[in-house]
Amino acid sequence: MTEAGMTRKKFDLDAMFKPQSIAVIGASSNFTKLSGRPLRFLKEFGYAGKIYPINPNYREIAGLKCYPSLAAVPGEIDLGIVGMAAAAVPAIILECAAKGVKAVTVFSAGFAELGTEGQRMQEELRQAAWEGGVALGGPNCAGLVSVHENATATFASAMDRGALLEGPVSFVAQSGALGTYIFAAAQDAGVGFNYWVSTGNEAVLGFADYVSYFVKQESTKAVIAYMEDARNGEAFKACAIEALEAGKPLIILKVGASEAGTKAAASHTGALAGSDRVYDAVFEQCGVIRAHDVEDLFDLATISMARHYPGSPAVAIMGISGGAGILMCDRSEEVQLRVAALTTETVEALREVLPPFASAVNPVDVTAELVAVPGLLKRSMEIVLADPGIESLVIFLGLQLHTGADLARDIALTAATTEKTVVVNWIAPPAQALSILRENKIPVFPDPARGIRALGALVKYSQRRQRYLNRRQEMRNGKGASTLSQPGTNQPSIETVNHIIQEARQQGRTALTESEAKEILGLYGIATPKRHLARNGGEAALAAQELGFPVVVKIASADITHKTEAGGVRLGIQSSQEAAQAYDDLINNAMAYNPKAKLDGVLVEEMIGGDGTHDGVQVVVGFKQDARFGPVITFGMGGVFVELIRDFSLRVVPLDEPEALAMIKETKAYPLLTGYRGDAPRDIAALCQVILSASRLAQDFKEDLAELDMNPVLVLPEGKGIKAVDALIVLK
Amino acid sequence: MTEAGMTRKKFDLDAMFKPQSIAVIGASSNFTKLSGRPLRFLKEFGYAGKIYPINPNYREIAGLKCYPSLAAVPGEIDLGIVGMAAAAVPAIILECAAKGVKAVTVFSAGFAELGTEGQRMQEELRQAAWEGGVALGGPNCAGLVSVHENATATFASAMDRGALLEGPVSFVAQSGALGTYIFAAAQDAGVGFNYWVSTGNEAVLGFADYVSYFVKQESTKAVIAYMEDARNGEAFKACAIEALEAGKPLIILKVGASEAGTKAAASHTGALAGSDRVYDAVFEQCGVIRAHDVEDLFDLATISMARHYPGSPAVAIMGISGGAGILMCDRSEEVQLRVAALTTETVEALREVLPPFASAVNPVDVTAELVAVPGLLKRSMEIVLADPGIESLVIFLGLQLHTGADLARDIALTAATTEKTVVVNWIAPPAQALSILRENKIPVFPDPARGIRALGALVKYSQRRQRYLNRRQEMRNGKGASTLSQPGTNQPSIETVNHIIQEARQQGRTALTESEAKEILGLYGIATPKRHLARNGGEAALAAQELGFPVVVKIASADITHKTEAGGVRLGIQSSQEAAQAYDDLINNAMAYNPKAKLDGVLVEEMIGGDGTHDGVQVVVGFKQDARFGPVITFGMGGVFVELIRDFSLRVVPLDEPEALAMIKETKAYPLLTGYRGDAPRDIAALCQVILSASRLAQDFKEDLAELDMNPVLVLPEGKGIKAVDALIVLK
Q: What is the mean pLDDT of residues A568-593?
A: 92
Of residues B162 and B248, which shows the higher confidence score?
B248
Pick from A632, A630, A631, A634: nearest CA to A622: A634
Q: Is A165 on the interface with B (CB under 8 A)?
A: no
Whether A160 and chain B come into contact, CB under 8 Å, resolves to: yes
Residues B514-531: what's their mean pLDDT? 93
- Min Cα–Cα distance to chain A from B337, Å: 11
Task: Flag whether pLDDT at B465 surpasses 50.
Answer: yes
A604-613, B453-462, B555-564: least confident range = A604-613
Tell me the pLDDT band of A488, cut-offs 50, 70 and 90: low
Which residues of chain A are within 8 Å of residue B171 when distances are taken between CB atoms? Answer: none
pLDDT tens digits for range B324-373: 999 999 999 999 999 999 999 999 999 999 998 899 999 999 988 888 89
Name the more confident of B668 and A612.
B668
Candidates B329, B337, B354: best to mutate against A (most CBs of A within 10 A) is B329
β-strands A551-556, A601-606: how paired?
antiparallel
B255 and A321: CB-CB below 8 Å? no
pLDDT at B609: 66
Least confident of A188-192, A296-300, B5-9, B674-678: B5-9
Interchain CB distance below 8 Å, A184 and B450: no
Residue A269 pLDDT more than 60? Answer: no
DSSP 3-state of B554: strand
Please state, rounded to an integer, the average pLDDT across all residues of chain B. 91
pLDDT over threshold 80, residue B702:
yes
> Residue A611 has what pLDDT?
44
Window 314-373 of A, Cβ < 8 Å to B: 320-327, 329-334, 339, 357, 359, 361, 363, 365, 368
For residue A174, give how far its alpha carbon lies from the nearest alpha carbon of chain B (Å): 9
Nearest to B293 among A264, A398, A449 (CB): A449
Out of A160, A178, A645, whose CB is closest to B324?
A: A178
CB contact under 8 Å between B668 and A676, yes or no, is no
Alpha-carbon distance of B130 to A355, in angstroms, equals: 33
d(C-alpha B314, C-alpha B54), whole Å: 59
Average pLDDT over residues A497-512: 93
Does the pLDDT value for residue B642 go beyond 80?
no
Find which of B161, B178, B394, B396 to mutate to test the A interface (most A CBs within 10 Å of its CB).
B178
pLDDT band at B610 (very low <50, low <70, confident <90, very high): low
How far, in Å, are A2, A172, A209, A322, B325 from residue A5 at the CA level? 5, 18, 8, 54, 32
The confidence score (pLDDT) of residue A4 equals 55
* pLDDT tens-digit map of B81-124: 999 999 999 999 999 999 999 999 999 999 998 889 999 999 99
Confidence category of residue A182, pLDDT binned at 50, 70, 90:
very high
Judged by a CB distance cut-off of 8 A, whether residue A384 touches chain B is: no
A355-411 confidence digits (pLDDT tens): 988 999 999 999 888 888 999 999 999 999 999 999 999 999 999 999 999 999 999
> Which tens digits make up the pLDDT trace of A399-450?
999 999 999 999 999 999 999 999 999 999 999 999 999 999 999 999 999 9
Confidence of residue B33 (pLDDT cuts 50, 70, 90): confident
What is the pLDDT at residue B489? 61
Read off the pLDDT band of B57 (50, 70, 90).
Answer: very high
Q: Looking at beta carbons, which residues of chain A come within 8 Å of B260?
A: 329-330, 332-333, 339, 363
The residue of chain B nearest to residue A327, with distances taken between CA atoms, is B255
User: Are the CB atoms for B450 and A293 separated by under 8 Å?
Assistant: yes
Interface of B with A in 657-696 (CB under 8 A): 668, 671-672, 676
Q: Which of A255, A112, A198, A173 is nearest to B323 (CA)?
A: A255
DSSP H helix total and E strand total for chain A: 26, 30
C-alpha to C-alpha distance for A652 and A242, rounded to whole angstroms:
18
A327 contact residues in B (CB cutoff 8 A): 253, 255, 261, 293-294
Q: Which of B617, B646, B713 is closest to B280 using CA atoms?
A: B646
Nearest to A153 by CA among A10, A54, A21: A21
Q: How many CB pairs under 8 A join A and B?
A: 234
pLDDT greater than 70 at residue A47: yes
Looking at residue A477, its pLDDT comes to 82
Confidence (pLDDT) at A271: 52
Position A351, amino acid: R
Asked if B175's CB is within 8 angstroms of A449's CB, the reply is no
Rounded CA separation A324/B275 (Å): 19
**For testing contact with chain A, the best of B181, B359, B674 (most A CBs within 10 A):** B181
pLDDT score of B1 more than 60? no
Contact residues on chain A for B174, CB-CB shorter than 8 A = 323
Out of A265, A325, A671, closest to residue B644 by CB: A671
**Chain B residues closer than 8 Å to A342 by CB:** none
Flag if B267 and A361 touch (Cβ within 8 Å). Answer: yes
**Partner residue opposite B294 with nearest CB, options A294, A325, A427:** A427
Q: Is-contact A665 A659, C-beta < 8 A?
A: no
B98 touches chain A (CB under 8 A): no
Q: Check B295 against A339: CB less than 8 A apart.
A: no
Q: Does B184 touch chain A if contact means CB atoms closer than 8 Å?
A: yes
Least confident window among A4-8, A345-349, A660-664, B416-420:
A4-8
**Mean pLDDT, to the nearest integer, of A584-606?**
92
Q: What is the pTM of this model?
A: 0.93
- Nearest residue to A380 via CA among A352, A403, A402, A401: A352
What is the pLDDT confidence band of residue A482, given thresholds at 50, 70 and 90?
low
**Residues on chain A touching B113 (C-beta within 8 angstroms):** 357
Has residue A3 got a pLDDT over 80? no
Classified as helix, coil or strand, B351 is helix
Cα–Cα distance measured from residue A715 to residue B5, given in angstroms and rounded to the nearest whole number: 60
In this prediction, residue B535 carries a pLDDT of 94
What are the tens digits of pLDDT across the range B370-411?
888 999 999 999 999 999 999 999 999 999 999 999 999 999
Contact B399 A672 (CB under 8 A): no
A369 vs B contacts (CB less than 8 Å): none
Contacts with A, B 107-126, CB within 8 Å: 109, 113-114
The minimum CA-CA distance between B91 and chain A, rounded to whole Å, is 25
- With a cut of 80, say whether residue A189 has pLDDT above it: yes
pLDDT at residue A483 in the model: 54
Lowest mean pLDDT among A6-20, A117-131, A226-240, A400-414: A6-20
User: pLDDT at position B611, please?
Assistant: 44
Task: State residue A162's pLDDT score.
Answer: 87
In B, minimum Cα distance to A364 occurs at B264
Tell me the nearest-neighbour CA distance from B68 into chain A, angstroms.
30
Q: What is the pLDDT of residues B182-193, one digit of tens each?
A: 999 999 999 999
Pick from A29-43, A370-384, A557-571: least confident: A557-571
B326 vs A295: CB contact, 8 Å cut-off?
no
What ipTM goes with this model? 0.91
Q: What is the pLDDT of residues B279-307, one digit of tens each?
A: 999 999 999 999 999 999 999 999 999 99
Residue type, A460: K
> A293 in contact with B at a CB cutoff of 8 Å?
yes
Rounded mean pLDDT, B539-561: 90
Rounded to a whole number of angstroms, the distance from the CA of B260 to the nearest CA of chain A is 6
Each residue of B199-235: pLDDT tens digit?
A: 999 999 999 999 999 999 999 999 999 999 999 999 9
- Cβ–Cβ gap B332/A260 under 8 Å: yes
Cα–Cα dist B278/B276, whole Å? 5
* Per-residue pLDDT at B14 exceeds 50: yes
With bands split at pLDDT 50, 70 and 90, how would you rate the model's confidence at B7?
low
B188 part of contact set with chain A, CB < 8 Å? yes
How many angstroms separate the CA atoms of B706 and B504, rounded?
A: 14
What's the whole-number mean pLDDT along residues B116-133? 94
